[in-house]
Structure 1
Amino acid sequence: MKSKFYKINTITMALAATIATAYPLHSFAQEEDTDAQAESDAERIIVTGTRLSNRSAADSPVPVDVISGDEFRQNSSTDVQDMLRTAVPSFDVNTQPISDAATVVRPANLRGLSPDNVLVLVNGKRRHRGSIISFLGGGISDGAQGVDISAIPSMALKRVEVLRDGASSQYGSDAIAGVLNFILRDNSEGFEVNARYGSTFEGDGDNYTISANAGFEAGENGFINVTAEIRDVEGTVRSVVRDDVAGMVAAGYISSDDFVGINTYTSEVPQYWGQPDVEDDVKLFINSGFEISDNAELYLFGNYGERQVTGGFFYRNPVTEGSQRGGVYAGPLVDPLTGLRDENGVHSVLVGALDGNTDSCIDGIPIGGNGNVFPDPTLLAQVQASANCFSFIETIPNGFVPRFGGTNEDMAFTVGVRGEIAVGTGLSYDVSAQRGSNRTDFFIKNTINASLGPDTPRDFVPGGQEQTETLLNVDFVYAVDAGLYSELSVAFGAEYRKEEFDLFAGDSASFALGPLASQGFSSSSNGFGGFPANTSASQDSKAIYVDLEADVTENLTLQTAIRAEDFSEFGNTTDFKLAGIFHVSDTVRLRAAYSTGFHAPTAGQANITNVTTQNVQGVLIDQGTLPLFSAAGQIAADFVESQGNGRPTLGPEDARNFSFGAAFDIGDTSWTVDYYNIELTDRVALGGNINFLDALNFAGGAGSDFASVSAALTALDANGTIDRGEFVGLDDLSQFRFFSNSFDTTTTGIDLVGNYSFDFMGGDSRLTLAANYNKTEVDSVGTVNPIDAGRVAAIEDLLPNLRGNLSWFHSHGDISTLVRANYYGGWDDTGNGVNGIGAEVLLDVQVSYQLNDETRLVAGIDNLLDAYPEENPGAGGSGQLYSEASPFGFNGATWYVQARYTF
């Protein structure tokens, strides 16, 4: 990996040097005012939600917010998703400290819906999905496979357009909650470099970002724009010493000096919980266009990026009753004198026989003494003296905390030609091809494969997964004189999309079923089991659409669209949209829209196999996600069907989206108010957990009562019911689930946006208000494979219903200031027992100074008043001081300084 980063950095530096020396760059600072005005004019014209080339945001039949690149970057965040959270009140993203793969690619929500209910575009072209399926998505995002927005460097953005309405009939699957369109910079001159450094008031979480953008001419009428970014973010620690650990310290079993050895991260607490580490985050984006004739343009854009993200897992307790890690330390109840099984005995540390002769070893080392945390010294010595008997209390006596993460690689390339068929015909075209991929290779350190006993490695490579997408698009727009106030815009086209999802096998130890597996020791790398084999799945879709838009009268604009799409795995769907805007007067506009939409399961969701460790009421258990069509999935389907509620299936979810609103001006202020209602049925989701042993007993037939999953798999293989080879790595599963169409929801909300520009104290000021009220209700939990009450609570209450921000921008001479108040309404985290969490207001401040024509200095503080979410009342149980679902994080106040140099 080091060599690849070295190569990337070398290429980036060489590219920057080439641009700086070989091309005559114009003075960016001298033309700053002109460029700013040009950009402002351009921002009035939108490209999202319309096929017209001259439609303004003010005249759009559906609400579209336009956020300039400079405005977008005005906060301490170094990640595009966190910037969106500040700029768009209905957009939510959380820190993911212990969320398995979701730590690497964080799931985000628009209007409280799943990440794969929002469509992401770059330059108007569909962006490929990330490789991560969020199995620990906080309830709202469980099972989602969204786009990796973090792969986009903020410096590359000219503006961001946010379409706040359903648009599946225009763009296809996923455009249910809305559309995010990231428009890349296209300047053909100038060079800009930014250096930013920041940290938290607590003194941790140091971060820096160095980014550069350069534009240069390519021929007489072409441009190439390049952005490069290097970023690093250190982790934070916001946890407390767990109660069980405090008891071990009080009893004298361990001391706080042992904490570093337990988790290899901090000397303050053994349980890691905080902002993950992001290292070697390198991004490169290129955007270009070349005029190849008087009426044709060739365009190309693409990116390459790579980063490493490392989070934490829960502490594996070796001795405390009720907290011991099952399959590693937790043994049966045993006689306190002999260490042999006794239902009325004491808890113990698990002992295994390396040669399989369990009669030669005791069943467990009894736990007693001060604090009930000391293994019996006599029997411990007996196990230590035996070459055949083994317990992990011998080799890892203080427990351990795995460190989990992954290296993510993202790349994409789009090439196309657009123009007019012939001058004067009014028929324009856009033909494009693109390919994108996102790959994550996982690692887990400081853990074990318990079934391998003393031969286990401590670090593993569990494998990886990759999402690859290929798209071909042909789009036409034809202007027709239909006798209306304006020409009728007839847009039509076709799309072919193929997506592939690949799993890559891990190292053999990460999924091995070792010699101690039959004696109660867990197999696979503890915390995140390895993938046992390379697997691949794919699906494709074909779509055609027609989109009509015209000014019917001087005051009335109507738009309608219809799209038919056929999926190779899930059948076909036809969706439509009808929208309009009516100009009541020069200052008042009314608009409304009704549309249908859909989200089709991804190839990854339909085919993923994953085993993860979850904290269920204080107990760590292994939960699996298996394909519905797999051998285990079919056993589950048979078991579910036997309950009399039908057989589970997997197909697209359907949406009905209705909105209406008003845009009006009052004096020097402008306002928009929009109401929306989104009904989703048959949502693609991970259903409720199924007890694996119960399903296997059902598969075994009447009278089956297997003692364990491993025993059941062995017996069912022996009698020909199953093929044991199809169940590799599943011996430790307690519960498992699968994707199916399950529950129904209704989401309603109101968006409010206001702007006011005025003169103040000799300078220019602007007030911007953006607020969102959003409420999702679960109409049905499903009957075939229903979701549980915990997930219902998360979907309905985990995010604040009310979000908003009020920003005041002011410039006077060389000094500019920003003051922003961010409001987060109350919310509940039922999963952590924290309900009725109160509202918070976070205050951000920034000041910038134009030092000279080329240099601007910036300093700011986000969360100036150092607000934190309410502490978890049960923090001592898991070490988790604050809820990871906090809508504004849990790092407290952060500061940053920045220098910007342009020429």
Structure 2
Amino acid sequence: MLRANTLKTLVRPAFLSSVAGLAIASPAYAQDTETRIETDAEAVAEADAPAIIVTGTRQSDRSAADTVAPVDVVGSAELNNTADADIGNVLRVSVPSFNVGTQPISDAATLVRPANLRGLSPDNTLVLVNGKRMHRAAVIAFLGGGISDGSQGPDISVIPSIAIKQLEVLRDGASSQYGSDAIAGVLNFILKDAPDGGTVSAQWGQTYEGDGDKYSIAGNVGIGLGSTGFLNLSGEYGEQDATVRSVQRDDAAALIAAGNTDVADPAQIWGQPNVNDDMKFYANMGVDFTPEISFYAFGNYAERNVDGGFFFRNPTNRGGVYEGPTVDPATGQPLAAADGGVPSVLVGDLSIDTAGDCPAGIPLTNGGLIPDPTILAQVSADANCFSFVELFPGGFTPRFGGDVEDYSAAAGIRGQLFGGLDFDLSYRHGRNKTSFSIRNTVNASLGPNTPTEFNPGGYAQTENVVNLDLGYEIPVGGGSIYIASGAEYRDEEFTITAGDPASFALGPLAQPSAAYPTGQGFSTSSNGFPGFATNAAGSSKEDNKAAYIDIEADLVDALTLQGAVRYEDTKSFGDTVTWKLGALYKLTDAWRLRGTYSTGFRVPTAGQANVINITTQFSNGELQDEGTFPLNSAAGLIVSDYVAGNDVILLGDGSTGAGGVRPTLGSEKSDSFTLGVAGDFGDFTVTLDYFNIKLRDRISRSSAISFPAALCYLADVDGVATGCPANYNDPDETLPSPAELLTQLDAAGSLNRGDFTGFEDLVSFSYFNNDFDTRTQGLDFVANARLYPFESGTTRATLAINWTDTKVTDAGSTISATRQRQLEEGLPQWKGFLNLTHEQGRFRGLLRANYFGSYYEAHLEDSTLPIDAGAELTFDVEAAYEVLDGLELAVGAQNVLDNYPELNPYSGIVGAKYGERSPFGFNGGNYYLRARFQW
């Protein structure tokens, strides 16, 4: 029976005093046994029995203690007795090698946060639900802190924790068993399957700062279907308010001090986003047709709205919106700085006549911070003249977000035929769709006619998987050999939906173009997140066919052997064969030695191979537009020629890489090795496992490369006269704008201008390729102890420690030094926790200490803003009491001592009080109350 929690008080000081003294914790992290909270002796005995697992093995009766590779089992109680409803945040303190960040300003990654297992990219982890491959999210994480850049993994946050019976974490390469992606390991979420009973819970919490309020209401119910079936339903609904961990930006503070009363304070918000209408639903069912044959089905529906902040647009110098030429301070007409010209705010001539009466710019006074009031009044009074200080005099900060929708359905039939042939035939369909939105922004090229809210379009990912698995056990002497084989067909489709026309329009005040050859220097598209133009919209498909054989042999009591081989063939990236060998040897009744060696692979997703995207990033001290192009696109061909044709290519962070090799995109390959020892002494178990993963030709986005330089290279090759300097790879040279170059190259016949709609303001570009190799090694240590300090009580202790070290062993031509350091040091090398749980009568409690080691952050992805953050120790507590039979009340706190990361030494640049990559977040402590009823 699940416990209930005690509500001592709603007042924070009393709350803290009531929980700080409790030696307690949420249900222990389980290595070789599943953890449950039970009361009667029979249930406790069941909870302490070895956990039967289905991950990493094809046999139905294998325990976690007898697998050739480490499999951790996290029970339902631990997943639900926590401050968070987001399963990613729960796993961050339940699986030591699992990391997920807050993602405050990360474009699409804010909507679907990328998560890392064992230090690798999110799409190096295979996610299963009931043993079946989960579909990917539509979102590609273009801003992933170096490690997750360009990743496209599943969105596990759509799984309500109340639906999960147990989570099995296979910490081993498993491509030969499950296919592409299973390089770092496998997360297998096993859904509840009870035919009766149920749970209803409600939880509310907020941060110690008084913001970030969040609540969730969840329920689970089991329904019998006749005498041989079940239907288990789970649902959750909740919302989460934003947090603010900002200081005023230095430039915004200077504007206010100079007299601009329209600047917000803070001008830019750093914190977790708003999550609205977060609904999650899962259904799981099964019916036995006969004692040997059963039908099963499961599926989900989830949706949520996410809304977060973007970078502040300074009303004096945001390029393409506010920043004008140097002008005569008396007239606002162009005048070189050397001749006394001063900075200005850009003015557009709405008559599309640049020889008209409008000044070129409104001179900036008060040290370049305040538009000259006289000339500003002249511009405002003239219907043909316009400046954005009329619309947003204090600048503006876009709000970016979107709607995420996710659904899936799976069905299958399994059982045993011919007295011993196991079979499982299944089909699964899944779809994830993200529709982006951006507001409080402009398409500057439209002038005063611009909307301030846009629908920039969206992404969708659709997948279908058909599986057939067969297995047969052959008795051999005193043991047996289990032979499994099967086949799989999987297809995926990635779709880009165009935005509304205004989100990518090339308006009359734009940079020079064929339609507006004179140009006026205003940027196109929705500022901050340009809409997907019609030339970017469309669908891309990929498919995969596979066959495997997997053998497990228990020939003698002390030895288990495993071998697997898999063949896969993809439509676009060829075929591959992967294999695995593993063994477990029982040294004594208590000690086991285990190890594996495996090869693995991952093919690019249809999205990674074909996506077109433009995002706004902070680079080299200012906001810049960066594009991502597929290599098979018109822009990608220029990219390919530029990279191959130059001895040196200029990376976006100012560093250089050797050129001369035409970029391609293909599969990445891995070699994995594990070796471990496990000891079981009844009330005490311990495991220590070493892993080593070598990844070749890793799939990722290149570092940013100068887009104007690539266009200058095309002009040079084609002999087109432009304003490009002779050495366009020199970072000190000033290059023409992309819009000017595109117009000139189009006129000369070097490209089709229409292929580059929406790219007029790009400063840099990147593309997906296979450009570097890494080696990731580490240790996982887990120890469990069960104690009986009181006659009727039980205390459990779990210590789990992970050490992970990644090195870039072969850096290619398009990976910057900053990116290399992010890959090697962007996550803590050391991470772990100590859980203490106590159960006595109607009371239970938790005390958990979480350790996060030191890490490196390139603040704003800028190598000149390094943050070397130190280690941090946080504590979580929870106390619960069953006030009535089945009704539990709980009070708890996460990060009870209110720890924060180190203060950001560059906070004045964009207002971030703390670094954005903290492994435990930057919101400080939060407390929560929960009521739960179970029957």
Instruction: Tell me the TM-score normalised to structure 1 length.
Output: 0.93
CA contact (8 A) 1:588 1:664 kept: yes
- Counterpart for residue 804 of structure 1: 832
What code does the residue aligned with 1:680 have? L
- Counterpart for residue 867 of structure 2: 835
- Counterpart for residue 853 of structure 2: 825
Q: Deviations over 1:819-867 (max 9, x none)?
A: 0000011111133534331111101110000111120111101111100
- Counterpart for residue 758 of structure 1: 787
What code does the residue aligned with 1:788 have? S
**Structure 2 residue 279 is the aligned partner of structure 1 residue 279:** no
Correspondences of 1:620-659 after superposition (within 5 Å): 620-643=623-646, 644-659=659-674
Q: Structure 2 residue aligned with 1:349, among 345, 348, 357?
A: 345
> Equivalents in 1 of 2:301, 2:455: separation in Å?
24
**Structure 2 residue 278 is the aligned partner of structure 1 residue 294:** no
Correspondences of 1:578-597 after superposition (within 5 Å): 578-597=581-600
- Counterpart for residue 899 of structure 2: 867
Classify 1:383/1:54 alpha carbon distance in 2 versus 1 (closer, same or farther; 3 Å): same
Which shows bigger deviation, 665-674 or 497-506?
665-674
**Structure 2 residue 713 is the aligned partner of structure 1 residue 684:** no
Q: Structure 2 residue aligned with 1:739, among 758, 768, 783?
A: 768
What code does the residue aligned with 2:569 have? D
Q: Structure 2 residue aligned with 1:469, among 455, 463, 471?
A: 463
Tell me how far 1:718 sits from its aligned partner. Answer: 2.0
**Structure 2 residue 902 is the aligned partner of structure 1 residue 901:** no
Q: Deviations over 1:334-360 (max 9, x none)?
A: 222232333312211111222321121
- Counterpart for residue 354 of structure 2: 358
SS of residue matched to 1:716 = helix
Tell me how far 1:504 sits from its aligned partner. Answer: 0.8
Tell me how far 1:310 sits from its aligned partner. Answer: 0.8
> Equivalents in 2 of 1:415, 1:195: separation in Å?
31
What code does the residue aligned with 1:286 have? A
CA contact (8 A) 2:222 2:233 kept: yes
> Equivalents in 2 of 1:685, 1:149: separation in Å?
21
Tell me how far 1:714 sits from its aligned partner. Answer: 1.7
Tell me how far 1:169 sits from its aligned partner. Answer: 0.3
SS of residue matched to 2:433 = strand
Classify 1:276/1:36 alpha carbon distance in 2 versus 1 (closer, same or farther; 3 Å): farther
> Equivalents in 2 of 1:864, 1:542: separation in Å?
50
> Equivalents in 1 of 2:39, 2:533: separation in Å?
57
What code does the residue aligned with 1:646 have? V
Gaps of 5+ in 1: 1-28, 260-267
> Equivalents in 2 of 1:873, 1:702: separation in Å?
48
What code does the residue aligned with 1:415 have? A
> Equivalents in 1 of 2:42, 2:916: separation in Å?
42
Q: Deviations over 1:566-591 (max 9, x none)?
A: 00011011100001111000111111
What code does the residue aligned with 1:215 have? G
Classify 1:434/1:249 alpha carbon distance in 2 versus 1 (closer, same or farther; 3 Å): same
> Equivalents in 2 of 1:41, 1:433: separation in Å?
35
- Counterpart for residue 55 of structure 1: 62
- Counterpart for residue 245 of structure 1: 252
SS of residue matched to 1:392 = coil
Classify 1:34/1:477 alpha carbon distance in 2 versus 1 (closer, same or farther; 3 Å): farther
Tell me how far 1:481 sits from its aligned partner. Answer: 3.0
CA contact (8 A) 2:720 2:748 kept: no
Tell me how far 1:715 sits from its aligned partner. Answer: 2.0
Which shows bigger deviation, 371-380 or 537-546?
371-380
Classify 1:144/1:827 alpha carbon distance in 2 versus 1 (closer, same or farther; 3 Å): same
**Structure 2 residue 738 is the aligned partner of structure 1 residue 709:** yes
> Equivalents in 2 of 1:371, 1:723: separation in Å?
44
Correspondences of 1:381-530 after superposition (within 5 Å): 381-422=377-418, 424=419, 426-483=420-477, 485-518=478-511, 519-530=520-531
Tell me how far 1:667 sits from its aligned partner. Answer: 7.2
> Equivalents in 2 of 1:430, 1:98: separation in Å?
44
Correspondences of 1:138-217 after superposition (within 5 Å): 138-217=145-224
CA contact (8 A) 2:481 2:553 kept: yes
SS of residue matched to 1:53 = coil
Classify 1:359/1:621 alpha carbon distance in 2 versus 1 (closer, same or farther; 3 Å): same
Tell me how far 1:252 sits from its aligned partner. Answer: 1.4
SS of residue matched to 2:743 = helix
Instruction: Tell me the TM-score normalised to structure 2 length.
Output: 0.90
Q: Deviations over 1:493-528 (max 9, x none)?
A: 000000000011111100101011121111110000
What code does the residue aligned with 1:611 have? I
> Equivalents in 2 of 1:39, 1:390: separation in Å?
75
> Equivalents in 1 of 2:243, 2:555: separation in Å?
57
Classify 1:894/1:328 alpha carbon distance in 2 versus 1 (closer, same or farther; 3 Å): same
SS of residue matched to 1:372 = coil
What code does the residue aligned with 2:531 have? G
Structure with more helix by fraction = 1
CA contact (8 A) 2:859 2:867 kept: no
Which shows bigger deviation, 118-127 or 74-83?
74-83
CA contact (8 A) 1:226 1:285 kept: yes
- Counterpart for residue 17 of structure 2: none
Q: Deviations over 1:553-605 (max 9, x none)?
A: 22111101000000001101110000111100011111111000011100000
> Equivalents in 1 of 2:681, 2:303: separation in Å?
48
> Equivalents in 2 of 1:705, 1:562: separation in Å?
57
Tell me how far 1:779 sits from its aligned partner. Answer: 1.1
Tell me how far 1:490 sits from its aligned partner. Answer: 0.4
- Counterpart for residue 615 of structure 1: 618
- The alignment of Structure 1 onto Structure 2 pairs a total of residues equal to 856
> Equivalents in 2 of 1:367, 1:621: separation in Å?
24
CA contact (8 A) 1:681 1:744 kept: yes
> Equivalents in 2 of 1:37, 1:30: separation in Å?
8
- Counterpart for residue 101 of structure 2: 94
> Equivalents in 2 of 1:608, 1:361: separation in Å?
44
Which shows bigger deviation, 787-796 or 577-586?
787-796
What code does the residue aligned with 2:796 have? R
**Structure 2 residue 308 is the aligned partner of structure 1 residue 311:** yes
Tell me how far 1:694 sits from its aligned partner. Answer: 1.4
Q: Structure 1 residue aligned with 2:77, among 44, 48, 70?
A: 70
CA contact (8 A) 2:38 2:47 kept: no
Correspondences of 1:15-30 after superposition (within 5 Å): none
What code does the residue aligned with 1:500 have? E
SS of residue matched to 1:393 = coil
SS of residue matched to 1:359 = coil
Which shows bigger deviation, 384-393 or 49-58?
384-393
**Structure 2 residue 685 is the aligned partner of structure 1 residue 670:** yes
**Structure 2 residue 333 is the aligned partner of structure 1 residue 340:** yes
SS of residue matched to 1:671 = strand
> Equivalents in 1 of 2:48, 2:854: separation in Å?
39
Q: Structure 2 residue aligned with 1:565, among 564, 568, 578?
A: 568
Tell me how far 1:31 sits from its aligned partner. Answer: 9.7
What code does the residue aligned with 2:485 have? F
SS of residue matched to 1:851 = strand
Q: Deviations over 1:143-201 (max 9, x none)?
A: 00010000000000000000001000000010000100000000000121000010011
> Equivalents in 2 of 1:688, 1:834: separation in Å?
17
CA contact (8 A) 1:43 1:68 kept: no
Classify 1:394/1:585 alpha carbon distance in 2 versus 1 (closer, same or farther; 3 Å): same
- Counterpart for residue 111 of structure 1: 118
SS of residue matched to 2:390 = helix
- Counterpart for residue 6 of structure 1: none
Classify 1:681/1:35 alpha carbon distance in 2 versus 1 (closer, same or farther; 3 Å): farther
CA contact (8 A) 1:43 1:66 kept: no
Correspondences of 1:260-275 after superposition (within 5 Å): 268-275=265-272
CA contact (8 A) 2:347 2:362 kept: no
> Equivalents in 2 of 1:304, 1:42: separation in Å?
34
Gaps of 5+ in 2: 1-35, 512-519, 647-658, 724-735
CA contact (8 A) 1:30 1:853 kept: no
- Counterpart for residue 730 of structure 2: none
Q: Percent identity?
A: 52
> Equivalents in 1 of 2:382, 2:240: separation in Å?
47
> Equivalents in 2 of 1:411, 1:131: separation in Å?
12
